[in-house]
Chain A
Amino acid sequence: MTDATTTTPPRRMRLNLNVLGPLLAMVALIIIGATLNLSFLSAENLTNVAARSAFIGIIAVGMTFVITAGGIDLSVGAMAAFVAGVMIMVMNSLVPVMGAGVPLVLVGMAVALVVGIAAGLLNGVLISKVGIEAFIVTLGTMGIYRSLVTWLADGGTLSLDFALRGVYRPVYYDGILGLSWPIIVFAIVAIIGELAMRHTAFGRHCAAIGANEQVATYSAVKVARVRMATYAVLGMLVGLATIMYVPRLGSASGNTGVLWELEAIAAVIIGGTVLKGGFGRVWGTVVGVLILSLIGNILNLASIVSPYLNGAIQGVIVILAVVLQRERWSTTWKTWSPRAGSTRWSFFPSKASL
């Protein structure tokens, strides 16, 4: 340890917009929110923002790994709806057998995780073993899951057994130390994700594959397996998010989880993960999720801008985040674009990007 600290010269101190950018944006939003509406800073409102972020947040952490490894998953919103639908149906059908108690809720949770992992694995196998583009595969499964849940609900809504709802409700509404369970679970997932990304071989391998798949292959990285794992982990996290989400409304329909995939991807990008892969950071994704929810929350509280413009403002933020990212590449990578040397992307240097 001493070795490392004594021989490493101090890093160049540079105002790095890419690192600070998302944090500054979040602080700015909090200040704006506080000045516009006093109740914004109330504990109640802030925990509400955090709780609403939790579902997208849990998914976005998994999405960070997928994108870092050079992939994408468009199916997560539909997958969440499908998982919710299956979970509700299984639980309802078991009420006569097991009774509406805690064991049945646990069974439901297990079902959600298993279905999530299976759905993620399906994406992963099609992408890494069969070799179909991630965009195509997940566009396809997105349609499949979405229509399956609509079919299961027969075009309407699948509602959880009323007695079960009472048992399950605390998972969304209760918590400890004033924090509700979704927030706690989100925090744990984020911390594990951040550690995995920065400090484990899995995280390193994801970045290597995203940066240059060939180099990873030549470096004895099990490319197909790691890539498959990213989708499976994402599927599992979709299951986990669904577990936290179902007690909120107690139902699922064809409209559950609509556009979640876009919100999750947007959060990842705002957080500074490179869309083309090769670099990802989980803490950035967490900040990205919070930024997106804060915007919605502020628009709802303050009456200056119509809440209907929520999507527009989020869109501006995403584009801005990408512009800032590019600035970073161009100032620190002089002659290399983020994907120089990759097989799928190529570039020609010009001074504009040098």
Chain B
Amino acid sequence: MTDPVLSAEKVSRSFGPIQVLFDIDFDLCPGEVHALIGENGAGKSTMMKILGGYLDPTGGGLRMDGKPVSFADHRQAEAAGVIMIHQEFNLALQLTVEQNMFLGRELTRGPFLDHAAMQAESRRLLEALNCPLDPRLRISEISVPNRQMVEIARAMGRNAKVLIMDEPTAVLTGRETEILLDQIDRLRANGTAILYTSHKLDEIARIADRITVLRDGHLVAHASAADMTPDQMAEAMVGRELSDLFPEKNVAQTETVLEVENLTVPGHVRNASFTLRRGEVLGVAGLVGAGRTELMEGVVGLRNATGTVRVMGKPLPGGSVLAAREAGLVYLTEDRKDKGLLLGKSLRENLTLLALDKFTKVRIDKAAEDRALTKAFTDFDIRAGDREMHAGNLSGGNQQKLLLAKTMLADPDIVIIDEPTRGIDIGTKQQIYQFISRLAAEGKSVIVVSSELTEVMGLANRVMVMGRGYIAGELEGDAITENAILQLAMKKQDEEAVPA
């Protein structure tokens, strides 16, 4: 084995009185992919931020090429060749793709910026990822998965010695993930040391050379990837054996609760019609850019749309999220950071924002809010070091659970969940699947929009597949297979596209 480029010795980290990492020994070798796995809140991101110079360890230290180092900030780490891609995006929304890719290291010709060179280089890097984006688009104009691709391309363009990737594939679909993994293979062959984390364990099995498992801030296992199956990884993470991931499917009732007729979201979706029955779980599959999110946002009134939406037979006035909520229809966004949570506000304020009127008679009943928070902690197994912390300081997966708790507090009859398990560990995934199934059994109806086919197939009574802006078809019961879904998704996309 080669000598490590970057290693951590007995690294500990506390936030105030709460310790989240305990004496972790860890190293990264050239030409090797080292996977760090663990439950939500286990301390993966914290460890990665310490290695990437974003956080200081409160105990222990780092070595680079055998010599002790301490990075004053991430810029110094970057200068030393250690680049990190964050779990949450780190892009300036109002700047263009190109500006973001070169922020802080702009190419110049004399005193002026060399736009042509930067654009060409951005294009080249994005094309290597099979992501032909126009570098002149603003980040705010591109989709979430494409933003992730920009983050990755930016890191790839920096000739990293050490590349740290915190859940880079959480927002990507299978095809895009495959491209990314190929790129990682290429970097590994070139001698880059890579630290990788993901909650998709088959991905870990595919890409990792070595695996380290964290549980509650302790290193609990360290093995060569060849010696661990995904099941063993899951067990090491959770600390118990996991039974079947998906619960039994319920049988939907006959009553129709939601009817969408000829819904058109300009530029994204044209003439979409579908229905949802009581107690049904409807899966929505499709490639990135198919307009799944846009369709659902149109249904609940978050986007301008034409067409009719009827809840329990009553037409919903367009453009009002509040009206939808009052009719019992809520939507849980896929973009928890920008649209889901107020990262700088307390957990309590976040939890009750959607259903605040339930806690208000002129005055907000803070005691009731606190009780709701306690209940959400147990119901959704939210692990927060401190009740008073800001939502932005929760680990990514726990943010997702908080968002779910917030949505359910509105006590909806119909829940549309966009990417329910993005960034969620396998143990919690199982809990969320059971939760969705329980909702259906109670006679509520759920729409699950997901890029994970296994999830759609494992949960849904019926699957609706979207092509580019169209509903390409529906599959029910035994007809729901991976092949059938993919074929539908590809078919429409090749035929025609929605004019923007």
Contact residues of A with B, CB < 8 Å? 1, 3-4, 7-9, 11-12, 195, 199-201, 204-205, 207-208, 211-212, 214-222, 278-279, 332-336, 338-341, 343-344, 346-352, 354
Q: Are A218 and B91 in contact (CB under 8 A)?
A: no
CB interface residues, B 50-109, toward A, < 8 Å: 53-55, 72-75, 90-95, 103-104
Chain B residue, CB-CB nearest to A222: B322
Looking at B92, B338, B354, the one whose CB has the most chain A CB atoms below 10 A away is B338
Chain A CB within 8 A of B175 CB: no
Q: Are A215 and B338 in contact (CB under 8 A)?
A: yes
Given the complex of chains A and B, what is the CA–CA distance between A199 and B356 in angstroms? 11
Inter-chain pairs besides A351-B53, A351-B73, 9 sampled, C-beta below 8 Å = A3-B367, A204-B353, A208-B342, A220-B324, A335-B393, A336-B390, A339-B344, A341-B392, A351-B74
Q: Which A residues are CB-close (under 8 A) to B55?
A: 334, 354
Selected from B90, B339, B371, B374, the residue in CB contact (under 8 A) with A349 is B90
Selected from B341, B357, B366, B386, the residue in CB contact (under 8 A) with A9 is B386
Q: Are B363 and A220 in contact (CB under 8 A)?
A: no
Q: Which B residues are CB-close (under 8 A) to A354?
A: 54-55, 73
Known: A207-B345, A217-B302. A333 touches B392 (CB 8 A): yes
Q: Are B392 and A340 in contact (CB under 8 A)?
A: yes
Chain A CB within 8 A of B313 CB: no
Given the complex of chains A and B, what is the CA–CA distance between A208 and B302 in angstroms? 17
Known: A214-B338, A346-B92. A220 touches B322 (CB 8 A): yes
CB interface residues, B 409-428, toward A, < 8 Å: 410
Q: Are A218 and B344 in contact (CB under 8 A)?
A: no
Looking at B15, B104, B353, the one whose CB has the most chain A CB atoms below 10 A away is B353
Q: Which A residues are CB-close (under 8 A) to B353?
A: 204, 208, 215-216, 219, 221
How many B residues have CB within 8 A of the partner chain?
58
Chain A CB within 8 A of B340 CB: yes
Given the complex of chains A and B, what is the CA–CA distance between A127 and B363 in angstroms? 28
Q: Are B339 and A351 in contact (CB under 8 A)?
A: no
Q: Which B residues are CB-close (under 8 A) to A8?
A: 370, 387-388
Chain A CB within 8 A of B454 CB: no
Q: Which A residues are CB-close (under 8 A) to B374?
A: 3, 7
Q: Are A336 and B393 in contact (CB under 8 A)?
A: yes
Q: Are B54 and A278 in contact (CB under 8 A)?
A: no
Chain A residue, CB-CB nearest to B362: A200
A327 to chain B, nearest CB (A): 15
Q: Are A340 and B17 in contact (CB under 8 A)?
A: no
Chain B residue, CB-CB nearest to A343: B93
Given the complex of chains A and B, what is the CA–CA distance between A351 and B340 in angstroms? 26
Q: Are A349 and B54 in contact (CB under 8 A)?
A: yes
B284 to chain A, nearest CB (A): 18
Known: A7-B374, A350-B73. A217 touches B392 (CB 8 A): no
Q: Are B392 and A336 in contact (CB under 8 A)?
A: yes
Known: A219-B354, A222-B322. A212 touches B342 (CB 8 A): yes
Q: Are B367 and A199 in contact (CB under 8 A)?
A: no
Q: Which A residues are CB-close (under 8 A) to B354?
A: 219-220
Chain A residue, CB-CB nearest to B55: A354
Selected from B75, B92, B325, the residue in CB contact (under 8 A) with A220 is B325
Given the complex of chains A and B, what is the CA–CA distance between A332 and B346 in angstroms? 12
Known: A201-B357, A348-B103. A335 touches B54 (CB 8 A): yes
Chain B residue, CB-CB nearest to A2: B367
Given the complex of chains A and B, what is the CA–CA distance between A193 and B246 in angstroms? 51
Selected from B91, B340, B360, the residue in CB contact (under 8 A) with A200 is B360
Q: Which A residues are CB-close (under 8 A) to B95?
A: 346
Q: Which A residues are CB-close (under 8 A) to B390?
A: 332-333, 336
Q: Which B residues are CB-close (under 8 A) to A7?
A: 370, 374, 387
Given the complex of chains A and B, what is the CA–CA distance between A9 and B356 in angstroms? 24
Q: Which B residues are CB-close (under 8 A) to A218?
A: 302, 321, 331, 333, 339-340
A173 to chain B, nearest CB (A): 35
A262 to chain B, nearest CB (A): 27
Chain A CB within 8 A of B364 CB: yes
Chain A CB within 8 A of B312 CB: no
Q: Which B residues are CB-close (under 8 A) to A336?
A: 343-344, 390, 392-393
Q: Are B343 and A341 in contact (CB under 8 A)?
A: yes
Q: Which A residues are CB-close (under 8 A) to B321?
A: 217-220
Q: Which A residues are CB-close (under 8 A) to B73?
A: 350-352, 354
Given the complex of chains A and B, what is the CA–CA distance between A12 and B388 in angstroms? 9
Q: Mark B323-362, 1 if CB is under 8 A from A, else 0.
A: 0110000010100011111111100010001101100101
Given the complex of chains A and B, what is the CA–CA distance between A12 and B18 in angstroms? 11
B1 to chain A, nearest CB (A): 32
Q: Which B residues are CB-close (under 8 A) to A208?
A: 342, 345, 349, 353
Which are the 8 A-B pairs with shortest beta-carbon distances?
Answer: A351-B73, A4-B370, A336-B392, A346-B92, A220-B321, A4-B367, A219-B353, A220-B322
Given the complex of chains A and B, what is the CA–CA distance between A9 and B385 in angstroms? 11
Chain A CB within 8 A of B140 CB: yes
Q: Which B residues are CB-close (under 8 A) to A341?
A: 337-338, 341-344, 392
Selected from A200, A220, A278, A343, the residue in CB contact (under 8 A) with B344 is A278
CB interface residues, B 178-220, toward A, < 8 Å: none
B420 to chain A, nearest CB (A): 16
Given the complex of chains A and B, what is the CA–CA distance between A11 and B348 in angstroms? 14
A199 to chain B, nearest CB (A): 5
Q: Are A343 and B370 in contact (CB under 8 A)?
A: no
Given the complex of chains A and B, what is the CA–CA distance between A346 and B138 in angstroms? 13
B348 to chain A, nearest CB (A): 10
Given the complex of chains A and B, what is the CA–CA distance between A221 and B354 in angstroms? 7
Chain A residue, CB-CB nearest to B371: A3
Given the complex of chains A and B, what is the CA–CA distance between A186 and B357 in angstroms? 29
Given the complex of chains A and B, what is the CA–CA distance between A338 and B390 in angstroms? 11
Q: Are B342 and A215 in contact (CB under 8 A)?
A: yes
Given the complex of chains A and B, what is the CA–CA distance between A199 and B93 in angstroms? 33
Chain B residue, CB-CB nearest to A209: B342
Chain A CB within 8 A of B16 CB: yes
Given the complex of chains A and B, what is the CA–CA distance between A317 and B37 in angstroms? 49
Q: Are B90 and A343 in contact (CB under 8 A)?
A: no
Q: Are A334 and B393 in contact (CB under 8 A)?
A: yes
Q: Which A residues are CB-close (under 8 A) to B90?
A: 348-349
Given the complex of chains A and B, what is the CA–CA distance between A222 and B326 in angstroms? 13
Q: Which B residues are CB-close (under 8 A) to A216?
A: 353
Q: Which B residues are CB-close (under 8 A) to A348?
A: 90, 92, 103-104
Q: Are B371 and A201 in contact (CB under 8 A)?
A: no
Q: Which A residues are CB-close (under 8 A) to B331?
A: 218
Q: Are B370 and A212 in contact (CB under 8 A)?
A: no
Q: Are B363 and A351 in contact (CB under 8 A)?
A: no
Q: Which B residues are CB-close (under 8 A) to A279?
A: 344
Given the complex of chains A and B, what is the CA–CA distance between A17 and B77 in angstroms? 32
* A to B CB contacts below 8 Å, 14 in the list: A3-B370, A4-B366, A7-B370, A201-B357, A211-B344, A211-B345, A219-B354, A220-B321, A222-B322, A278-B342, A333-B390, A346-B94, A348-B92, A352-B73
Q: Are A215 and B339 in contact (CB under 8 A)?
A: yes
Looking at A12, A195, A220, the one whose CB has the most chain B CB atoms below 10 A away is A220
Known: A204-B349, A220-B325, A350-B75. A340 touches B370 (CB 8 A): no
Q: Are B364 and A201 in contact (CB under 8 A)?
A: yes
